[in-house]
Amino acid sequence: MRRKVIKTASMAAVIGAMEPAMRASAWAQGSDAPEKKEVRIGFIPLTDCASVVMASVLKLDEKYGVKIIPTKEASWAAVRDKLVNGELDFAHVLYGLVYGVHAGISGPKKDMAVLMTLNHNGQGITLSRKLAEAGAVDGASLAKVMAAQKRDYTFAQTFPTGTHAMWIYYWLATYGINPMKDAKVITVPPPQMVANMRVGNMDGYCVGEPWNHRAIADGIGISAATTQDIWKDHPEKVLGTQADFVKKNPNTCRAVVSAILEAGKWIDAGLSNKNKMAETIADRAYVNTSVDVINQRILGRYQNGLGKTWDDPNHMKFYNDGLVNFPYLSDGMWFLTQHKRWGLLKDHVDYLAMARQINQIGVYRQAAAATKTPLPKSEMRSSKLIDGVVWDGSNPRAYADGFKVKA
């Protein structure tokens, strides 16, 4: 009898920490067990799908009463469509895609949710060998080449409101290149980037690993910048879902976030785990590439394809003592400021209110408690980007309007 009382009190404590709508749903279920035991999580073949895949492979999901089924998708547009129509329960997805769908600027408008950040850093900007031979090996030299050689330039990103679009736009603009006026921008799914560059469809692209290192290995491109050069410890992929799914399945959401937190912690724990992860996700079922193309950059061992090598301490991280995973409101707001800067959003929105709607901090806090993941002191954070401008979320309207180079 005493054990039953303690269990009931413990469950009440967990439910008491929930948002009101979630609390009502959980009490309706009469349990803190996951409402949905089997969940489909979409992913794109990229290194940063690793914590989702490893949560399943290592059976960390079972510990929390759920079964994760990783579902390989062909493009971010496919991920968007399947999230919106409910074919997927969750997805490893671009931060800016979730915000774009919620704002109604990247397809059908749907109330969306971000449950956690999956990784920081680890994306890259690749320029073609042809450009490198003309002298364009970084942002400054690219600007000089484009000014001297007047022709049509094409750059590729992976989704119009997504992270890679925002990174390459920000990077180009830092060197005085307006991506909306000085070049043509196209959308290409990540696994197709290398093949498209090989046949000359673009001069450069921004994508996640391993598709930057793959271009070097294949001798068709060079690394001009990493995204951590643009913003150290930037937010990248998130675990996304529909807002309605969170309301109906709060315990499932907590369980899935908990399992992925543990997977990220496991990956970041050491060299052997990272190598095992690389061997796992290199498989045809996941990223479908050779292990050596994945495992160097997850260890911070970089090369640019022109003989330069370096060790980067700000390589892709999945946990980093919990610093990676908290869904900071300021991170979500930043993408909205860039959507406004580049004309994707026609008018200012209530940046903070929208971030509070989307980022499910209540769910995350419960999962953090369950996994003993440290929490930050604030829901906002401050960062200085490549152009020296500081972003802290305090005045998003002024920030969005303050850039010289914009649409």
Q: Is residue 205 part of a domain?
A: no
CA-nearest of 119, 360, 123, 377 to 263 is 119
Q: What is the dihedral of CA 252, 257, 258, 264, to 10 degrees?
A: 150
For 165, other C-beta atoms within 10 Å of its C-beta total 28
pLDDT in tens, 142-201: 999 999 999 999 999 999 999 999 999 999 999 999 999 999 999 999 999 999 999 999
Phi, psi of 42 (to 5 degrees): -75, 150
Judge whether residue 8 has pLDDT over 50: no
Q: In this predicted structure, what is the pLDDT of residue 31?
A: 81
Residue 309 inside a domain? The answer is: no
Ordered DSSP codes for 338-392: HHHHTTSSSS---HHHHHHHHB-HHHHHHHHHHHT----S-S---EE-TTS-EE-
Which candidate, 256, 253, 249, 318, places its Cα nearest to that of 55? 256
Helices (H), 225-377: 227-230, 243-248, 250-268, 271-281, 291-295, 329-341, 351-358, 361-371
How many whole angstroms from its chain centre is CA 234?
9
Check pLDDT > 90 for residue 6. Answer: no
39-49: burial string, b at 16+ Cβ within 10 Å, e else: bbbbbbbbbbb
Domain ranges, residue 360: 2-120+234-299+315-331+351-377
Q: Is residue 81 part of a domain?
A: yes
Per the domain annotation, does 165 fall within a domain?
A: no
Helix (H, G, I), strand (E, B) or coil at 273: helix
Task: Over range 312-331, report the average pLDDT.
Answer: 98
Helix (H) or strand (E) holding 208: strand 204-208
The model carries a pTM of 0.93
Residue 53 lies inside a defined structural domain of this protein? yes
* Residue 79, CB-side half-sphere exposure with 13 Å CA sphere: 32
The C-alpha atoms of residue 68 and residue 288 are separated, in whole angstroms, by 20
**In the predicted model, what is the mean pLDDT of residues 338-356?**
98
Give a yes or no: residue 130 inside a domain.
Answer: no
Q: Is the backbone peptide bond immediately before 191 cis, with ω within 30 degrees of 0?
A: no
Indicate which CATH number applies to the domain containing 28: 3.40.190.10
pLDDT digits (tens, 9 = 90+) for 124-139: 999 999 999 999 999 9
Q: Residues 11-66: pLDDT tens digits?
A: 444 444 455 444 444 433 458 999 999 999 999 999 999 999 999 999 999 999 99
Single-letter amino acid code for the residue at 20? P
Is 43 inside a domain boundary? yes
Nearest to 85 by CA among 285, 259, 245, 215: 245
Residue 99 pLDDT greater than 60, yes or no: yes
Residues 375, 13, 21, 116: what is their CA dihedral angle, to the nearest 10 degrees? 20
Question: Residue 30's pLDDT is what?
Answer: 56
Q: Look at residue 388 and tell me if it is in a domain.
A: no
Please name which of 2, 28, 31, 29 lies closest in space to residue 14, comparing C-alpha atoms: 31
Q: What is the mean pLDDT of residues 275-286?
A: 98
Query: What percentage of the chain exceeds 70 in pLDDT?
Result: 93
Indicate the number of domains in the chain: 1
